[in-house]
Amino acid sequence: MKHTSILASGAALIAAAMVHNAAAQAPLPAAIQADRAVVSQDGTNLHNAFAQLKADEQAGNTAALAADHSAAQLARMQARADFGKLHQDALGILQPDETALMAALTQLHADQVANNAGALQADQTAVQSAKDQFKADRKAVFSDLGLSMHHRGWQG
Q: Where are the domains of the chain?
A: 2-17+42-142
pLDDT tens-place string over residues 113-145? 999 999 999 999 999 999 999 999 999 999 988
Report the percentage of the chain scoring pLDDT > 70: 77
DSSP state of 153: T
Give the closest residue to 124 by CA, choosing from 113, 114, 134, 109: 109
Q: How confident is residue 25, by pLDDT bands cut at 50, 70 and 90?
A: low
Q: How far from 94 is each of 9, 28, 32, 114, 138, CA to CA, in Å?
A: 22, 12, 12, 30, 7
Model-wide pTM > 0.75: no
Question: What's the rounded mean pLDDT across residues 44-68?
Answer: 96
